[in-house]
């Protein structure tokens, strides 16, 4: 187990500089265009694939970094470039992680390569969990999966929403209810292969920010997938459901929900994304304050501006430290006894919204126009307090953890 450190080693610095260079040279110059187009930036994803950033190998290397800092470092640099394009690049990773965490070796080897495609023919994948009436409340999920034993097929029906890459993905990972009486313990995940009849894209959302990332509904109408597409296999599912039924019959042991625990471990990565956006806006504001003159001197000479910048930098560094602490704890197997994962996501998300708003204010009228990137960064920052659990949900998780209450 690596000791916690706030200093990147030489290899990590080399990777950080490489990602930063790609973000500066490829992502940033394309950011405004794809924000305006509100389309998936396929050429940028292809460039990321060619250099090795859009690949399972890249994310695996960062994920297995023994210090835990590989993933937050990569996320911060990519989202420093642009949040919308970065989310298009990393969005497939959520579906890939779902297969890695729950799939068999055969499923991992078969489906993950199809999620990414090749540098000459890139593909994307989608993880479909949220529903119109089941966002934070995963227990309200209505999408159903029914097993057709005669054909060894699962039949899926329902509507998913807020799916990154939903409808345009080569592979969809869909969470569905297989036993409604067991609540969240009666859920399972399914692979929907390319071209499967019955899966279609519903509404594509026109969003306030992260416009270069495709977000849409996914409609499932009698979607039939082979039994081999149940993540983990039917034997494993049957065993898990049997244990859940036994506990329910014995009075329903109150334990932390497994899905919520997984989210708790993944939230520092979202915090790192928020840190990247906040840092980008801060750097633009700092440079502007040094070069913009009013009343014969740079505006950074005015205490009102200088103190804002001081607060912005302090908050960004504090957010990063919370993210790094939680990331290290996750890889070191340290229990989040105070919901440190949610703490990092909560604070970094709120910092991103505040810092980008201050950046707009420092730039004045210029900050309110699309001629300067802080306007886009401010719009993008709003998502961090919403997805992967709203700030209100983070506070609920933290409060319940401190009170030693189960997280449902």
> For residue 264, what pLDDT is reported?
62
d(CA 363, CA 379) in angstroms, rounded, equals: 15
User: Poorest-confidence range of 14-18, 91-95, 163-167, 202-206?
Assistant: 91-95
pLDDT digits 0-9 by tens, 230-248? 999 999 999 999 988 888 7
The residues near 199 (Cβ < 8 Å, ≥ 6 apart) are 172, 192, 218, 219, 220, 221, 223
For residue 246, what are its two tokens?
């036994």
pLDDT digits 0-9 by tens, 170-204? 999 999 999 988 888 899 999 999 999 999 999 99
d(CA 364, CA 60) in angstroms, rounded, equals: 42
> To which residue do tokens 């014969």 refer?
296
For residue 280, what are its two tokens?
């980008």
For residue 400, what are its two tokens?
């319940």
Question: Which of the four pLDDT bands, split at 50, 70 and 90, describes residue 408?
Answer: low
User: Closest Cα to residue 39, out of 204, 266, 156, 199?
Assistant: 204
User: Closest Cα to residue 68, out of 330, 273, 340, 343?
Assistant: 330
In sequence order, the β-bridge partners of residue 296 are none
Catalytic machinery residues: 388
> For residue 257, what pLDDT is reported?
45
**Which pTM was predicted?**
0.93
Sign of CA dihedral 180, 388, 83, 72: negative
Residue 130, φ and ψ in degrees, nearest 5:
-60, 150
In sequence order, the β-bridge partners of residue 258 are none
pLDDT at 57 over 60: yes
Would you tell me how many other CB atoms lie within 10 Å of the CB of residue 156? Answer: 24
Q: Quick one: average pLDDT of 83-92?
A: 97
Question: Which of the four pLDDT bands, split at 50, 70 and 90, describes residue 3?
Answer: confident
For residue 403, what are its two tokens?
């009170």
d(CA 19, CA 8) in angstroms, rounded, equals: 14
Domains and CATH numbers, the chain: 10-122 (1.10.540.10), 125-249 (2.40.110.10), 258-402 (1.20.140.10)
For residue 67, what are its two tokens?
């210090």
d(CA 275, CA 377) in angstroms, rounded, equals: 12
């Amino acid at each position: 187990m690596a000791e916690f450190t706030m200093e990147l080693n030489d290899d990590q610095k080399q990777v950080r500089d490489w990602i930063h260079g790609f973000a500066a040279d490829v992502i940033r110059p394309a950011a405004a265009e794809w924000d305006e187009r509100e389309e998936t930036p396929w050429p940028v994803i292809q460039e990321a694939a060619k250099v090795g950033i859009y690949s399972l190998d890249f994310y695996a290397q960062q994920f297995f970094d023994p210090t835990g800092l590989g993933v937050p470092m990569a996320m911060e640099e990519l989202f420093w470039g642009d949040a919308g394009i970065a989310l298009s690049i990393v969005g497939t990773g959520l579906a890939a992680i779902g297969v890695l965490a729950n799939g068999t070796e055969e499923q991992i080897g078969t489906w993950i390569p199809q999620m990414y495609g090749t540098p000459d023919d890139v593909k994307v994948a989608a993880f479909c969990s949220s529903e119109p009436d089941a966002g934070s409340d995963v227990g309200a999920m209505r999408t159903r999966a029914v097993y057709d034993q005669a054909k060894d097929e699962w039949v899926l029906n329902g509507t998913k929403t807020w799916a990154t890459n939903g409808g345009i993905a080569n592979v969809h990972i869909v969470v569905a209810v297989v036993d409604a009486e067991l609540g969240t313990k009666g859920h399972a995940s399914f692979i929907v292969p390319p071209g499967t009849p019955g899966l279609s894209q519903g509404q594509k959302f026109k969003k306030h920010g992260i416009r270069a990332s495709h977000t849409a509904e996914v409609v499932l109408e009698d979607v039939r997938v082979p039994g081999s597409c149940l993540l983990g296999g039917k034997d494993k599912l049957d065993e898990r459901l049997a244990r859940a039924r036994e506990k329910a019959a014995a009075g329903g042991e109150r334990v932390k929900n497994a899905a919520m625990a997984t989210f708790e471990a993944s939230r520092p990565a979202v915090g790192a994304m928020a840190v990247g956006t906040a840092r980008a806006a801060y750097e633009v504001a700092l440079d502007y304050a040094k070069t913009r003159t009013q009343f014969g001197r740079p505006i950074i000479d005015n205490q009102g501006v200088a103190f804002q910048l001081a607060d912005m930098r302090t908050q960004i560094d504090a957010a990063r430290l919370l993210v790094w602490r939680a990331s290290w704890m996750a890889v070191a197997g340290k229990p989040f006894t105070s919901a440190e994962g949610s703490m990092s996501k909560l604070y970094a998300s709120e910092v991103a919204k505040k810092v980008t708003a201050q950046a707009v204010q420092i730039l004045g009228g210029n900050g309110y126009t699309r001629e300067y990137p802080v306007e886009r960064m401010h719009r993008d920052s709003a998502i961090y307090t919403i997805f992967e659990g709203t700030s209100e949900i983070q506070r609920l998780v933290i409060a319940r953890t401190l009170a030693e209450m189960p997280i449902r």
